[in-house]
C-alpha cells in the first residue's frame, strides 16, 4: 500500500527525490513535479472560478490562496535544480520543508512579486518580513497597533474556519464576502487575474521546454557551481542568468528575449529557507 501522507513528509520527499540522487535524476524528478503542479494549479483555478461565479466568495478566496501556494512549488523545484545535490544536502532538506510550509511558499511569491527588488540583499529584507509568523502589538499604546498574525491567516484561515475573537469574546463565523477584494479588477488586475496570468506564463515556459528535464539540467550546469545567498553580488547573478538564457535558447530554439522574460530567471531563494528569522 502506498503511503501518501507519511508522518514527516519533508524527510520522505528528501529521501526519495534528492538524497543520493545525481543532478540529472533531480532534474527529471523536478520536471515531473513541475508538470504535476501546473496541472493542479489549473484545476484549482477552475474550482476558484466555479465557486466565485456561484457567489461562494470566501471559499473561492481560500482556493485562490491555495493555488498561489501550489504555484510557488514550481520555484521551489527550480531552486532545487540550482543546487549541487552532493554538496548542498542541508539546503535541499530545507527546500523539502518549504514544499509543505504555507508561510514559506507565501514568501516565495511575495519576493517574486516585489517590483523594487534589485539585489539579493533587498530580496532577503523582503523575505524576512514575509516569513514573520506573528507581529506583536506595539509596546507604545499611543500607536494603537494591535498584534497581527501572518498574512496567510487572512488569505486562508479567516475565509474557512470558525474562530474565537478574544477582544469581543465571541465566536466568529467566516463572512461570505471576506477577501472579495482579491477578485476586484475595477481599477487594476485582481489577485485572481495575476494568478491566471502567471499560470499562463509558466505553462508557456513549460511548453517551450524551459522547465523540462533538459532545461533544468542546463540550469544545474549553470548554477550548480555557485551558492547564491543574500550577499551574492548582482553582477554574478546577471552573468549566470545571461549564460542560462543563451544555453536554453540554443537548446530549445526559443529567442533569447523570450527566455529572458521567462520564469527561469527568477531569483534563487533557496538560501533564505535556511536562515532563522
Is the pLDDT at 252 greater than 80? The verdict is: yes
With bands split at pLDDT 50, 70 and 90, how would you rate the model's confidence at 165?
Answer: confident
> Measured between alpha carbons, how far is 109 from 253 in angstroms, rounded to an integer?
29
* pLDDT band at residue 2 under the 50/70/90 scheme: low
Q: How confident is the model at residue 64, as a pLDDT?
A: 97
Q: Is residue 243 part of a domain?
A: yes
The pLDDT confidence band at residue 251, using thresholds 50, 70 and 90, is very high
Q: Which residue has the higher pLDDT, 155 or 233?
A: 233
Residue 162 in domain = no
Per-residue pLDDT, 150: 67
Mean pLDDT score, 164-188: 91
Whole-model pTM? 0.92
Among all chains, which residue has been given the C-alpha cell 507519511? 6
- Residue 147's Cβ-count burial label (10 Å; 0-12, 13-18, 19+) is exposed
Q: Specify if 68 maps to a domain.
A: yes
Q: Does residue 172 fall inside a structural domain?
A: no
Least confident of 36-40, 85-89, 139-143, 175-179: 139-143
Q: Is 172 helix (H, G, I), strand (E, B) or coil?
A: strand
Checking if the pLDDT of 6 tops 80, the result is: no
Q: What is the CA radius of gyration of the chain?
A: 20
Reported in sequence order, the residue ranges of the chain that DSSP labels E, i.e. its strands, are 134-135, 148-149, 163-165, 170-172
Digit-coded pLDDT (tens) for 58-100: 999 999 999 999 999 999 999 999 999 889 999 999 999 999 9
Residue 120: pLDDT band (50, 70, 90) is very high
Strand partners, 163: 172
**Chain segment 7-21, per-residue pLDDT in tens:** 899 999 999 999 988
Q: Which domain holds residue 64?
A: 9-132+189-274
Query: Does residue 217 form part of some domain?
Result: yes
- Does residue 72 sit within a domain? yes
* Rounded CA separation 124/105 (Å): 15
CA distance 216 to 214: 5
Whether residue 242 has pLDDT greater than 70:
yes
Please count the structural domains in the chain: 1
On the question of pLDDT at 1 being above 60, the answer is: no
- Is there a domain that residue 139 lies in? no
The more confident residue out of 130 and 208 is: 208
**Residue 168 exposed, middle or buried by CB count within 10 Å (0-12, 13-18, 19+):** exposed
Q: Could you tell me the pLDDT band of residue 3, with boundaries at 50, 70 and 90?
A: low
Range 209-229 average pLDDT: 97
Mean pLDDT throughout 182-186? 95
Q: What percent of the chain has pLDDT over 90?
A: 80
Amino acid at each position: 500500500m502506498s503511503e501518501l501522507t507519511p508522518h514527516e513528509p519533508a524527510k520522505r520527499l528528501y529521501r526519495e527525490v534528492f538524497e543520493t540522487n545525481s543532478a540529472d535524476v533531480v532534474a527529471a524528478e523536478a520536471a515531473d513535479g513541475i508538470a504535476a503542479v501546473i496541472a493542479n494549479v489549473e484545476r484549482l483555478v477552475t474550482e476558484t472560478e466555479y465557486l466565485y461565479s456561484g457567489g461562494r466568495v470566501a471559499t473561492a478566496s481560500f482556493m485562490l490562496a491555495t493555488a498561489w501556494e501550489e504555484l510557488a512549488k514550481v520555484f521551489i523545484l527550480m531552486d532545487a535544480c540550482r543546487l549541487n545535490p552532493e554538496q548542498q544536502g542541508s539546503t535541499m532538506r530545507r527546500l523539502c520543508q518549504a514544499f509543505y510550509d504555507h508561510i514559506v511558499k507565501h514568501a516565495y511569491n511575495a519576493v517574486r512579486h516585489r517590483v523594487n527588488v534589485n539585489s539579493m540583499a533587498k530580496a532577503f529584507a523582503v523575505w524576512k518580513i514575509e516569513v514573520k509568523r506573528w507581529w506583536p502589538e506595539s509596546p507604545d499604546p499611543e500607536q494603537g497597533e494591535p498584534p497581527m498574525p501572518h498574512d496567510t491567516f487572512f488569505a486562508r484561515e479567516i475565509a474557512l474556519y470558525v474562530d474565537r475573537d478574544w477582544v469581543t469574546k465571541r465566536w466568529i463565523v467566516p463572512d461570505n464576502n471576506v477577501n472579495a477584494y482579491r477578485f476586484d479588477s475595477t481599477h487594476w488586475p485582481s489577485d485572481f487575474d495575476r494568478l491566471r496570468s502567471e499560470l499562463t506564463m509558466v505553462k508557456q515556459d513549460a511548453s517551450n521546454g524551459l522547465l523540462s528535464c533538459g532545461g533544468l539540467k542546463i540550469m544545474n550546469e549553470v548554477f550548480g557551481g555557485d551558492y547564491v545567498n543574500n550577499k551574492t553580488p548582482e553582477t554574478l547573478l546577471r552573468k549566470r542568468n545571461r549564460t542560462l538564457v543563451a544555453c536554453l535558447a540554443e537548446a530549445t530554439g526559443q529567442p533569447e528575449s523570450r527566455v529572458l522574460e521567462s520564469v527561469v530567471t527568477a531569483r534563487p531563494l533557496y538560501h533564505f529557507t535556511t536562515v532563522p528569522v
